[in-house]
Amino acid sequence: MKIRKAVIPAAGIGSRLLPLTKATPKEMLPVGDKPVIEHTVRELVASGITDITIVVSSGKSLIQDHFRPNPALVAQLRADGKSAYADAVEEVGELSREGHITYLDQHGPYGNGTPVLNAARHLGDEPMLVLWPDDVFVAEVPRAQQLITAYESTGCPVLALLPMAPGESQRYGVPVVREDLDDGLLRISGLMEKPKPEDAPSAFAAIGGYVVTPGIIDELRIQTENWYTHQTGEVYLTDAINNYAAEHAVYGQVIQGRWYDTGNPADYLVAQFASALAHPEYGPLLRQLVDEN
């Protein structure tokens, strides 16, 4: 089945970036000249996704305002002779139409599996992409498209992977690799969360980005039902993937490209700096500043 739909969970409070995120959603912090969530939306649209659901919580209205078309502003800019700015504003509004962006309020227990299950009820019984809104990927072929290609060759859930240094294993979920199928496609049997370097089952990290199938959604439903029965723990997407992988095929795709995480201050600054260095106008200015200091 062709993947047409995607979910962006955007209900988190961005606690690691406080107080910066006290009033501004972390998804709206700029990386280069775009808020970080726009990078994710652009990646999905460029990969042929035509139905994007952004799962939000209270205080996230700026996300909707950003993508909402604003003909009055565009007309004012054109009247003032600011055609380039008008084109830029109009293009962002066009993303909402191309990606058919809809918004859904998050309901249910804490955990990153809850927004995925919320969206699944809305999107129907189809495979879907799940991308986090605080990741930026720079790649010739969008990460989303690489995941879609892997799904089309396997028909099974797929996780985005990157090679990692052994000492980094305690930061990530590390896949248990059963088979290397070449071209970066790996058959996996589950994930080990943040293992010690000596216990890491492979040299890859799961870095966010999934093709989720109805079987994974069924596992999330089971987790959620158990949570409402016992009122303990959280509902995690990785737990659902692990449970599913115990009896079904799951794959990982090693992504070709550069990943920037913006979820904590240090990584956010790195993403900002890298984006600015790559800009034809700002890059030379920054290089000059570094040379002078």
pTM: 0.92
Task: Answer yes or no: is pLDDT of 96 > 90.
Answer: yes
Query: What CATH code is carried by the domain that includes residue 64?
Result: 3.90.550.10
In the block, tokens 């600054």 appear at 269
Bridge partners of 210? Answer: 130, 159
What is the reported pLDDT for 122?
Answer: 78
Q: Is the dihedral of CA 177, 181, 186, 188 positive or negative?
A: negative
**CA–CA separation, 48 and 286 (whole Å):** 35
What is the reported pLDDT for 109?
Answer: 87
**CA–CA separation, 243 and 59 (whole Å):** 34
What is the reported pLDDT for 279?
Answer: 86
State the total domains in the chain.
Answer: 1
Q: How far apart are the first and last CA of the chain?
A: 55
SS3 category, 180: strand
What is the reported pLDDT for 293?
Answer: 73
What is the reported pLDDT for 14?
Answer: 85
What is the reported pLDDT for 289?
Answer: 86
Convert the pLDDT of each residue in 21-68 to its tens digit.
Answer: 888 999 999 998 899 999 999 999 999 999 999 999 988 899 999 999
Q: Are 190 and 175 in contact (CB under 8 A)?
A: yes
Bridge partners of 128? Answer: 5, 212
Q: Do β-strands 128-130 and 5-10 pair in parallel, antiparallel, or remain unpaired?
A: parallel
Q: Which residue range is the domain that position 154 belongs to?
A: 5-17+25-292
What is the reported pLDDT for 214?
Answer: 94
Q: Are 109 and 230 in contact (CB under 8 A)?
A: no
**CA–CA separation, 204 and 255 (whole Å):** 11
Q: What is the largest CA-CA distance in the chain?
A: 64
* pLDDT averaged over every residue in the chain: 92
Structure token digits, residue 120 = 């699944």
What is the reported pLDDT for 230?
Answer: 83
What is the reported pLDDT for 290?
Answer: 82
- Compute φ and ψ for 7, nearest 5 degrees: -125, 135
Convert the pLDDT of each residue in 180-230 to its tens digit.
Answer: 998 999 999 999 988 999 999 999 999 889 999 999 999 999 999 998 888
Bridge partners of 112? Answer: none
Convert the pLDDT of each residue in 97-143 to its tens digit.
Answer: 999 999 999 998 889 999 999 999 877 788 999 999 988 999 999 99
